[in-house]
Amino acid sequence: MLAEDIFPGHGSALSQLWRSKQLEYSWLRTLMHRYEDFWQVTQDAFSYAWRSLQLSCTEQQRASLLDAYLRLETFPEVNAALHRLEGRRLAILSNGSPHMLRSVVKSNGLSHVFELVLSVDALKLYKPHPSVYQHAIDRLGLPKESIGFVSSNFWDIAGATSFGFQTFWLNRGQLPPDELGITPTAILQSLTNLAA
């Protein structure tokens, strides 16, 4: 992990705090009606994380870690699993900013796979706000009951289930669900199981 290489002994704590603050900042910004795109949220969350852990961070280290975020790799089974879904309409609905999504999709060779890559940036608010899930319906032109929504984040599954999508929680870590009174349509341990 690059964070561990740059900050030996602190990489895991940095990554966890960074991710936690990304989510917290996106939700707070939605509640406060103070939208910034997810690239800015990602940078702000990183700044908070390294300062909070009292790490010394150079501009080059910061740039390296942020650049890695634009080239996140898919899990090993993703390409084969998406291939098994050929013939179905596939779309991404993400909190990521448009340039982040373009970069990650392109770097993983998936540009031809998805009909739509939808960013919350079009709405200036973040999931799990119901308007974001409505955006997918509006763009796809489908009834919500016919949409299968996949996420590894239970908070996102909770939002999509609450909205009325069929939901598939990709629970690779076999975590317990959050106590939100929400039950997904199915729980998967790998994307390979989705087609079935």
User: Do 27 and 96 reside in the same domain of the chain?
Assistant: no
CA-nearest of 71, 156, 139 to 105 is: 71
Q: Work out how many domains the chain is built from and give that number.
A: 2
User: Do 155 and 177 reside in the same domain of the chain?
Assistant: yes
From 69, 89, 114, the end of a domain falls on 69
Give CA–CA dist 150/153, Å, rounded: 9
Is the pTM higher than 0.85? The answer reads yes
Is pLDDT at 3 greater than 90 in this prediction?
no
CA-nearest of 102, 69, 76, 81 to 150 is: 81
Per the structure, the complete domain to which residue 106 belongs is given by: 78-193
User: Do 28 and 111 reside in the same domain of the chain?
Assistant: no
**pLDDT band for position 48 (50/70/90)?**
very high
CATH of the domain at 13: 1.10.150.240
Give the mean pLDDT of 100-107: 96
User: Do 21 and 87 reside in the same domain of the chain?
Assistant: no
From 38, 69, 100, the end of a domain falls on 69
Bridge partners for 192 per DSSP:
none
